[in-house]
C-alpha cells in the first residue's frame, strides 16, 4: 500500500538549520558516503514535505545524468532514470548549472521532452518538479530535486531550503572525492580525522592541521591582509596555491599558504608561519590535502549561518514592521533568548568595512553572551540585542570591528520588543546623521549627536526649516542661483575651526576658501565666524547637512 502523501510546506528557518546541521553530523559519524547522501535526500523530502526527493550524478563520458539516490519514488523505472544532459528538468539542471522548475512537467512545452522519459514520469504520477545543481570543484556534478504528484509552484522559502541541502550534498561529494584520491594509509587516516572535524567549523579543522603538520596555522578570509606579510607577495602565493592545489611559500616572508576552494570559488586561506623550505615533504603533502576539508568546513559553517540568518532576517523584519508584536512573534523572539519586556539595543550600520559576515561575527562576539539578531534590512544592517549594559554596547561593537571602519546609529527600546520599531527609526536616522556630519568611524545615539540630535530625535520639520532658513537663507539662495558651494564651505570652516583647515576637506586651494568666506560675509555679515553668531550658524549648518542626508 502506498505511503500517505505528505503535504508540501514552507520549511521554518529552525527546521532548515536542524536539517543542515544533521547532515554535517552525518559527515563526521558515517564513513559510507552513500549513507550520507541518502540521508540528505531523505531529509530534503521531509524538510519540504514533498512526495519525493532524489539526487542525480553526472556521467560526462556518456553525456548523461542518472538518478542515484531517491526517497518516496514508487516505480523502479523512475528510480533508475538515465537521461541525456540538457533534457527534461533533471538533465537541464545537471547540464545548465541553474535551478529549473516546472509546475506540470508533461504539459510544459518549454521542457526538452523525450517520449521514453515522459512515459516514466506519467507512470510515477509526477507533475511539479524543482531542481538545484550540485557543484564540486567549480563543476556541476549532479542535481538535487524534489517532485510532487500534483500541480504546484515551489515558493521562495522551499527553493532556498533545497539549495541549502544541495550545498550539503556538494560538501559530502567533495570529501568523498578527497578520500578516493589517495591510497596512502596515513593520508586516508588524516582525511578521516579532518572529516570528523568538518561539522565543528574551519577553526577546529585548522587546529587539527596544525597538530599534524607540527606548526600552528590560522585561517584568513580571501583578500585579507596579514601582519608582516606584503599584500602583493601574499596575493601571488595564494593565486599560485589556487592554481596548483598545493601549499606555496610566500616570497620575502616566513610563511606558507594554502588556498581552500569550495564550489569552484576561493573561500579561505590557511597560513602557516613557517617558510615553505622548512616544511618536510610529508608536512607539505598533508597541508596540501587539507584544502578540500577546510573548504568543506567553511561551506558547512556558511550553510548553517545562512539558514540561521534567514530565520533572523524574518524575525527582524517582522519586529520592525509591528507596532504591537503578537503572541506568535514574541514566542519566536523568546525562542532565541529575548525577554519581551527587557530593554533592547537597536543598532543600524549603514556603512562598514570588510564583509557582512565579518561584521556580524565581530558584533555578536562584542555583545555575547546576550541574545542578538543581525539582518540586512532596507539597505542597511540591523542588529537587535539585549546586553546587560545597552548604553555602552554600541561602542563595544565599534571597537570589535576595528580596524575596519563603521558608522553606527543606535537607540534603546526601553520597554522591550514592543518599542523596537520606533527605536529602529531613531537609530536609522542617527546613522544617517553621522554620515551627513562626515563621520568615518563612529557610533552615536541622538543625544550624542549634540545639537544635530534635535532633528534626529524627530522634532517638527517646520521648526528645522525655520532655523536653517533664518541663518543660511541668503547663502543657500546664492548657491542655488549660481551653482556655488558656499554653504558647504561655511560648514567645513566651522567644523574644522579655520579656513586653512577646511581647504583640505573641500579639496580646494586656501585662496579659494578665502574668497568664498568673503562672499559669505557679504551675504550674511562679516561676523559669521565669531561667537556667538558662529554657534547659531554652525548649528544651522549641521541641521542642513543632516536634513539633506535624510531627504
Domain regions of the chain by residue span: 13-177, 181-300, 322-454, 461-550
Q: Do 350 and 432 meet the contact criterion of CB atoms below 8 Å apart?
A: yes
- In angstroms, rounded to a whole number, what is the distance separating the alpha carbons of residues 296 and 302? 10
Q: Which pLDDT tens digits describe the chain residue by residue (551 residues)?
A: 445 545 677 888 778 888 888 888 887 777 678 899 999 999 999 999 999 999 999 988 888 899 999 999 999 999 999 999 888 898 888 887 889 999 999 999 888 889 999 999 999 999 999 999 998 877 888 999 999 999 999 998 899 899 999 999 988 888 777 666 555 667 777 877 887 888 788 888 999 999 988 999 999 888 888 888 888 999 999 999 988 889 999 998 899 999 988 766 788 999 999 999 899 888 888 888 888 888 888 888 877 777 666 777 888 888 998 888 888 889 888 888 899 999 999 999 988 877 777 888 888 889 989 989 888 888 888 999 999 888 889 889 988 888 888 889 999 999 999 999 999 999 998 888 887 766 778 888 877 776 666 565 555 566 677 778 888 999 999 999 999 999 999 999 998 888 888 888 888 999 999 999 999 999 999 999 998 889 889 988 988 887 776 55
- In angstroms, rounded to a whole number, what is the distance separating the alpha carbons of residues 534 and 537? 5
Q: pTM score, two decimals?
A: 0.56
Q: Do 356 and 382 meet the contact criterion of CB atoms below 8 Å apart?
A: no
Task: Specify the DSSP element, H or E, that contains 473.
Answer: helix 461-482
E strands in 421-461: 442-444
CA angle 258, 245, 221 (to 5 degrees): 35
Each residue's pLDDT tens digit, 274-315: 999 899 888 888 888 888 888 888 888 877 777 666 777 888
Q: Do 307 and 13 meet the contact criterion of CB atoms below 8 Å apart?
A: yes
CATH superfamily of 322-454: Reverse transcriptase/Diguanylate cyclase domain (3.30.70.270)
- Burial label for 353, CB within 10 Å (0-12, 13-18, 19+), is middle
What CATH number was assigned to the domain covering residues 461-550? Answer: 1.10.10
DSSP 3-state assignment of 337?
Answer: coil
CA angle 96, 17, 327 (to 5 degrees): 125
Q: Which three cell numbers stand for residue 117?
A: 522519459
- In angstroms, rounded to a whole number, what is the distance separating the alpha carbons of residues 338 and 340? 6
Q: How far is CA 199 from CA 27, 297, 317, in A?
A: 7, 7, 30
Q: Do 174 and 292 meet the contact criterion of CB atoms below 8 Å apart?
A: yes
Mention the CATH class of domain 181-300.
alpha beta
Sign of CA pseudo-dihedral 223, 225, 231, 235: negative
- Establish whether domains 13-177 and 181-300 are of one fold: yes
Q: Which three cell numbers stand for residue 163?
A: 539549495
DSSP 3-state assignment of 66?
Answer: strand
Mention the CATH class of domain 13-177.
alpha beta
Amino acid at each position: 500500500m502506498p505511503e500517505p502523501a505528505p503535504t508540501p510546506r514552507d520549511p521554518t528557518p529552525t527546521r532548515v538549520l536542524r536539517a543542515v546541521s544533521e547532515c554535517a553530523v552525518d559527515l563526521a559519524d558515517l564513513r559510507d558516503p552513500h549513507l550520507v547522501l541518502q540521508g540528505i535526500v531523505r531529509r530534503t523530502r521531509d524538510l519540504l514535505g514533498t512526495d519525493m526527493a532524489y539526487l542525480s550524478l553526472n556521467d560526462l563520458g556518456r553525456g548523461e545524468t542518472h538518478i542515484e539516490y531517491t526517497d518516496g519514488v514508487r516505480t523502479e523505472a523512475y528510480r533508475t532514470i538515465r537521461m541525456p544532459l540538457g533534457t527534461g528538468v533533471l538533465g537541464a539542471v545537471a547540464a545548465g548549472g541553474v535551478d529549473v522548475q516546472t509546475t506540470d512537467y508533461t504539459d510544459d512545452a518549454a521542457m526538452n521532452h523525450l517520449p521514453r522519459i515522459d512515459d516514466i514520469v506519467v507512470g510515477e504520477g509526477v507533475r511539479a518538479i524543482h531542481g538545484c545543481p550540485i557543484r564540486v570543484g567549480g563543476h556541476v556534478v549532479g542535481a538535487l530535486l524534489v517532485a510532487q504528484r500534483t500541480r504546484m509552484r515551489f515558493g521562495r522559502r522551499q527553493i532556498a531550503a533545497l539549495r541549502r541541502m544541495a550545498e550539503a550534498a556538494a560538501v559530502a561529494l567533495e570529501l568523498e572525492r578527497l578520500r578516493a584520491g589517495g591510497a596512502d594509509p596515513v593520508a586516508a587516516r588524516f582525511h578521516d580525522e579532518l572529516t570528523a572535524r568538518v561539522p565543528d567549523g574551519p577553526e577546529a579543522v585548522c587546529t587539527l592541521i596544525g597538530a599534524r603538520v607540527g606548526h600552528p596555522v590560522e585561517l584568513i578570509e580571501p583578500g585579507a591582509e596579514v601582519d608582516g606579510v606584503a599584500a602583493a607577495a601574499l596575493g601571488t602565493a595564494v593565486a599560485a596555491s589556487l592554481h596548483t592545489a598545493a601549499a606555496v611559500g610566500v616570497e620575502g616572508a616566513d610563511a606558507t599558504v594554502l588556498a581552500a576552494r569550495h564550489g569552484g570559488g576561493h573561500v579561505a586561506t590557511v597560513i602557516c608561519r613557517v617558510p615553505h623550505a622548512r616544511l618536510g615533504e610529508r608536512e607539505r603533502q598533508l597541508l596540501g590535502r587539507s584544502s578540500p576539508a577546510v573548504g568543506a568546513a567553511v561551506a558547512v559553517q556558511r550553510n548553517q549561518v545562512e539558514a540561521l540568518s534567514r530565520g533572523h532576517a524574518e524575525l527582524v523584519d517582522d519586529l520592525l514592521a509591528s507596532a504591537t508584536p503578537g503572541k506568535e512573534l514574541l514566542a519566536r523572539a523568546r525562542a532565541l533568548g529575548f525577554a519581551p519586556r527587557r530593554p533592547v539595543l537597536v543598532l543600524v550600520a549603514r556603512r562598514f568595512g570588510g564583509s557582512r559576515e565579518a561584521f556580524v561575527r565581530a558584533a555578536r562576539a562584542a555583545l555575547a553572551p546576550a541574545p542578538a539578531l543581525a539582518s540586512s534590512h532596507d539597505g542597511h544592517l540591523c542588529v537587535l540585542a539585549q546586553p546587560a549594559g545597552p548604553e555602552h554596547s554600541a561602542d563595544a561593537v565599534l571597537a570589535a570591528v576595528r580596524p575596519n571602519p563603521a558608522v553606527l546609529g543606535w537607540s534603546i527600546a526601553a520597554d522591550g520588543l514592543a518599542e523596537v520599531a520606533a527605536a529602529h527609526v531613531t537609530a536609522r536616522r542617527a546613522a544617517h546623521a553621522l554620515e551627513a556630519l562626515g563621520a568615518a568611524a563612529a557610533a552615536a545615539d541622538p543625544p550624542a549627536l549634540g545639537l544635530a540630535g534635535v532633528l534626529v530625535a524627530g522634532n517638527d520639520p517646520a521648526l528645522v526649516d525655520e532655523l536653517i532658513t533664518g541663518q543660511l537663507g541668503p547663502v543657500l539662495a546664492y548657491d542655488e542661483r549660481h551653482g556655488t558651494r558656499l554653504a558647504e564651505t561655511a560648514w567645513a570652516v566651522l567644523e574644522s575651526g579655520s579656513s586653512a583647515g577646511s581647504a583640505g576637506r573641500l579639496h580646494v586651494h586656501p585662496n579659494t576658501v578665502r574668497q568664498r568666506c568673503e562672499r559669505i560675509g557679504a551675504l550674511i555679515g562679516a561676523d559669521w565666524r565669531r561667537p556667538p553668531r558662529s554657534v547659531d550658524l554652525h548649528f544651522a549648518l549641521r541641521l542642513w547637512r543632516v536634513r539633506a542626508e535624510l531627504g
